[in-house]
Structure 1
Amino acid sequence: MRRRFPALVIAGALALALVGCSANTEAAGPASDTITIVDHTGNEVAIPADIQRVAIDEIPLASTYVAYQEGSAPYLVGMSDAVVRSLEDTVVADIAPEILDVDSGYYDNGELNVESLLNLDPDVVFYNANNTGHAELFAAAGIPAVGFSTSGDPTTVYQDWLRLLEDVFQEPGKMDEVIARGTEMIDAAAARTEGLADDAEQSVLIIFNYSSGTLRVAGETPFFGYYWLETINADNAAVGAQGGLAAVTAEQVLAWDPDVILIGGSGQAGITPEQMLSNTVDGLDLSALRAVQEGRVFSNDLGMWSWFTPNPDAPLIADWLGKVLYPSRFDDVDLIAETRDYYQDVYGVELSRDQADSIYQGLFADE
């Protein structure tokens, strides 16, 4: 049976950086106007001690930010237009509608305009730690910038983001219960799939996006989809596909013939299970696949964010994957009740049963 690799082994460098992040947060003094933290680039960053204005550049941090702020989006003054538009279809927009009203004008045709960002007078900007180009622009403009890593296992990356937010806002331990709960839920889901015979492990193809005739799937390179399949003990059907987001042909998919197809969150994937099952996807005929013929094509409407990328819904994603891939091992999991309870405790929002059910596109309505 294929061995699963612990997240701390796979993303060891990131974990070490985070240890440093927590251990090296230090105030410049009781009366200081700044503090110094270590972000996910490993660099020391001086930021205001009293943060009142936050901009988020490029990274899908907004839903985790709302989770950290217990169901609201205080201090947030700017995000890219693409992120704001994507948030319109998420539950986070219902939880914290003010997040849709932030300024998005500091991007011109998708390009960062630092002068426009300066007009927002941000105390700090949160950015993708991998984007060194933007980091240099922020430094040149004198804007304190904190890098958040988007690399590694999405079952823990959102936790890393929460910990770094603790450092930024000088609230050590604030997310202890949320992180402990999430870890317990994900570990419990993973434990349910241990001991599977090799021929019982499901062959799964994760489709992230279909656009302009190009199909992108979770390849064999460690990336978000890769880690999710490792967590739930499933085989990646995309054998030989290189890259975390691998461009593949219909002929390759037909040759792989997966047991199950999982499609990225509604609205962002450019393709739905209904279209695939009815063979109405323009330019893509996958009707010969066993997964299509047996109706084993699944997706979800957006919860807090697209579910295969880092976001604080991760503990629910683990059980959703378990229920669609190994239903007999998860038949006692009431995912609708679990989702309502999780949203109440973590985000401070009371979902109706219909709202919770809609996230799963009615898949568990009869349970």
Structure 2
Amino acid sequence: MSIPLAQHRTKRIGRAVAVASIALLALSGCTANTTSNPAGGDAQGDASSTRTIIDHTGEEIEIPAEIDRVAVDQIPIASTYTAFFEGEAPYLVGMSQAVVDSLEGTVAADIAPELLEVETGYYDNGELNVESLLELDPDVVLYNASNAEHGELFEKAGIPAVGFKTQGDPAVTYTEWLRLLEDVFDEDGKMDEVIEYGAGIIADAREKNAQIPEADRKDVLEITGYKPGTLTVQGEPEFFGTFWLDTANADNAAIGAQQPLSEVSSEQLLQWDPDVILLSGYGHSGLLPEDVLGGLEGVDLSTMTAVQEGEVLSTRLGWWNWFTPNPDAPLVAHWIGAAVYPELADPEALDQLTREYYLEVYGYELSDEQLEHMYAGSYSAEVDR
């Protein structure tokens, strides 16, 4: 099941300081420029020199040639960032408190505990405070490319900001994030082997999941949010869950839900009556299978087929939330098929693949307890784990 890297990569200690010419994201088709400071000096070694890259907004962005302080705004990039640095999170000085809270208690805190130690004070009740961010003195901010308002705020404040796309197939998006990080840190091609390794695992998963005949495809409901009386689900328009259901060879039960994330009543949910319910965990619904099986305030799902048969599963696996773009996507591709179709499940093989993957990508050896925690509540009741 696993496709080993050409060589086993060890955990990198320290930082890469080479400042050389870089290859930009493939879709941009452009090259980077290095500019010396007005007073002169070597662009290779002068801390005030800059480089120009193209981010996912399609704009040219001037960033420092040497980056020592990184802040994050509105993108769940912590796992991708840590994979880029092979199990560490150097230079990261700020994220939102909500993200930090979500990472607590996950394997992320074990692999890179420094993720929990970053500054979070540049948000006021969840709203970005640029003045507070300026006090943090970041060299660059990594932000949601779809949020043009924040992009303008960073530009007006004179903060170099690189936009990362947050749409599309998450199994592809994480590779595009890795490529853009190559540009940001001027390390062209660093992620070639990781990306190739993951692509092979995903192809293997798709081939396995394709064994399910068309007539046996299951209807799956993805719950992404909850408040008393109302649930938010993955609707018909394209969103992260769309691609994962395609990978699983399953159908979206939420027929007629017109928004990517649609609020619906329990009456509507009962009409859909899905075969399987997937709960989008950390940072989204916050629900666990036992919450739904035990009864939710204002939402009665007790007569649903999935609830009665115990087919309510969590996606709060691995680092944070496996439905968002993240480097664990190759593992998601294998897990989701096994989650929806118990006949495809092989927990022992997936545990072994997960061990190998974390060692190769993060330089981290998972314990039995960590694996048990990662996959808790993520298999059908029919599967003996």
Question: Do they fold alike, i.e. is TM over 0.5?
Answer: yes
Task: Answer whether contact 2:122 2:133 (CA < 8 A) is retained.
Answer: yes
Task: State the SS of the aligned residue for 1:208.
Answer: strand
Deviation at 1:320, TM superposition (A): 0.9
Question: Structure 1 CA distance, aligned partners of 2:283 and 2:137?
Answer: 33
Question: Structure 2 CA distance, aligned partners of 1:253 and 1:37?
Answer: 46
Task: State the SS of the aligned residue for 1:98.
Answer: helix
Greater Cα shift, 239-248 or 294-303: 294-303
Aligned match for 2:369, one of 354, 359, 363: 354
**Match in the other structure for 1:31:** 42
Task: State the SS of the aligned residue for 2:285.
Answer: coil
Confirm or deny that 1:284 pairs with 2:299. yes
**Match in the other structure for 1:173:** 189
Question: Structure 2 CA distance, aligned partners of 1:193 and 1:69?
Answer: 32
Task: State the SS of the aligned residue for 1:334.
Answer: helix
Question: What CA deviation, in whole Å up to 9, does each residue of 1:275-329 have, x standing for no partner?
Answer: 3223x22222111111111111111444212111111111111111111122323
1:266-277 correspondence to structure 2 within 5 Å: 268-277=284-293
Question: Structure 2 CA distance, aligned partners of 1:235 and 1:304?
Answer: 26
**Match in the other structure for 1:203:** 219
Deviation at 1:173, TM superposition (A): 0.9
Question: Structure 1 CA distance, aligned partners of 2:123 and 2:276?
Answer: 39
Question: What CA deviation, in whole Å up to 9, does each residue of 1:163-183 have, x standing for no partner?
Answer: 000011111111111111111
Deviation at 1:256, TM superposition (A): 0.8
Q: Report the residue type matching 2:368 in the other structure.
A: R
Instruction: Evaluate the alpha carbon distance shift between residue 329 and residue 302 of structure 1 in structure 2; reply closer, same or farther with a 3 A threshold.
Output: closer
Q: RMSD of the alignment, in Å?
A: 2.0
Instruction: Evaluate the alpha carbon distance shift between residue 363 and residue 88 of structure 1 in structure 2; reply closer, same or farther with a 3 A threshold.
Output: closer
1:191-270 correspondence to structure 2 within 5 Å: 191-194=207-210, 196-265=212-281, 268-270=284-286
Task: Answer whether contact 2:107 2:370 (CA < 8 A) is retained.
Answer: no
Question: Structure 1 CA distance, aligned partners of 2:139 and 2:169?
Answer: 30
**Match in the other structure for 1:111:** 127
**Match in the other structure for 1:150:** 166
Task: State the SS of the aligned residue for 2:281.
Answer: coil
Task: Answer whether contact 1:73 1:96 (CA < 8 A) is retained.
Answer: yes
Q: Report the residue type matching 2:26 in the other structure.
A: V
Instruction: Evaluate the alpha carbon distance shift between residue 209 and residue 89 of structure 1 in structure 2; reply closer, same or farther with a 3 A threshold.
Output: farther
Q: Report the residue type matching 1:27 in the other structure.
A: T
Confirm or deny that 1:77 pairs with 2:88. no
**Match in the other structure for 1:336:** 351
Task: Answer whether contact 2:228 2:296 (CA < 8 A) is retained.
Answer: no
Q: Name structure 2 gaps, 5 residues minimum.
A: 1-23, 44-48
Q: Report the residue type matching 1:200 in the other structure.
A: D
TM-score (ref. length: structure 2): 0.86
Task: State the SS of the aligned residue for 1:258.
Answer: coil
Task: Answer whether contact 1:257 1:291 (CA < 8 A) is retained.
Answer: yes
Question: What CA deviation, in whole Å up to 9, does each residue of 1:137-162 have, x standing for no partner?
Answer: 11111111100010111111111100
Q: Name structure 1 gaps, 5 residues minimum.
A: 1-16
Question: Structure 1 CA distance, aligned partners of 2:378 and 2:151?
Answer: 43
Question: Structure 2 CA distance, aligned partners of 1:349 and 1:207?
Answer: 31
Instruction: Evaluate the alpha carbon distance shift between residue 24 and residue 191 of structure 1 in structure 2; reply closer, same or farther with a 3 A threshold.
Output: same
Question: Structure 2 CA distance, aligned partners of 1:113 and 1:150?
Answer: 22
Instruction: Evaluate the alpha carbon distance shift between residue 302 and residue 22 of structure 1 in structure 2; reply closer, same or farther with a 3 A threshold.
Output: farther
Question: What CA deviation, in whole Å up to 9, does each residue of 1:235-292 have, x standing for no partner?
Answer: 00000111111111111111111111111125742322113223x2222211111111
Question: Structure 2 CA distance, aligned partners of 1:131 and 1:58?
Answer: 9
**Match in the other structure for 1:322:** 337
